Chains A and B, each alone.
Chain A
Amino acid sequence: GQQLNQSPQSMFIQEGEDVSMNCTSSSIFNTWLWYKQDPGEGPVLLIALYKAGELTSNGRLTAQFGITRKDSFLNISASIPSDVGIYFCAGRRIQGAQKLVFGQGTRLTINP
């Protein structure tokens, strides 16, 4: 079953607003990743984080690897219509492990 708790489950915002979502775990994770999934497609990697405390940006997206290694957040600034979709956090628990553990997803809807 899922080991990552992602919140909120859904968001309804106005175009131009900033968005924030987060992911927590009861276990330490070695790597945190954020993916976006569009309908009928597979997840696409947005940002990867490898060190506790790391803050990384990709355009209007910013993500951080929590100091405790048990959480991560993703911020999207000045949202635009193409940001609509489902965002997933994912992580690797063990150094060198390949399998990813995913959160339940945050569905983002934007009102123009």
Chain B
Amino acid sequence: GAGVSQTPSNKVTEKGKYVELRCDPISGHTALYWYRQSLGQGPEFLIYFQGTGAADDSGLPNDRFFAVRPEGSVSTLKIQRTERGDSAVYLCASSLNPPSGGETQYFGPGTRLLVL
């Protein structure tokens, strides 16, 4: 079956612009996660959705970052007033309903964001 898909695969923008990154999780997965991976580093957690609600947004770096998942499937990560330091690969992952916290997270290929 289809895995996690992310669009666009690459995004180049100018400092100060607004960007939206989209994630399509695996069908039937109720949990969705966003991570950010800087060059040469491991992914860093941003936000986790269970269904439509953000269950943990403790990783969002500041209020320029916002994510939604209005129908409990597709999610959009929104970044306002982009800064050069926002340049990174933004990874999305999904998992089955994780009542015990042990479910495997399946990652998408990521969106490579470059802020000039």
| Interface membership of B56, Cβ < 8 A | yes
Cβ-neighbour of B98 out of A42, A45, A98, A101 (below 8 A): A98
**Is A21 an interface position by the 8 A CB rule?**
no
Number of A-B contacts (CB under 8 A): 71
Chain B min CB distance to A91 (Å):
11
A42-B4, A42-B93, A42-B108 given; A102·B101 CB < 8 A: no
Q: In the complex the two chains form, is B42's CB within 8 Å of A98's CB?
A: no
A43 & B43 in contact (Cβ 8 Å cutoff): yes
A77 CB to nearest B CB, Å: 24
CA distance A96 to B107 in the complex (A): 20
B residues near A (Cβ < 8 Å) are 4, 31, 33, 35, 40-45, 48, 50, 55-56, 58-59, 91, 93, 95, 98, 100-102, 104-110
A selection of 28 A-B contacts at a CB cut-off of 8 Å is A2-B44, A31-B101, A40-B110, A41-B110, A42-B4, A42-B91, A42-B109, A42-B110, A44-B107, A45-B104, A45-B105, A45-B106, A50-B102, A88-B43, A90-B42, A94-B101, A96-B101, A98-B48, A98-B56, A98-B98, A99-B45, A99-B56, A99-B58, A100-B35, A100-B45, A102-B43, A104-B41, A104-B42
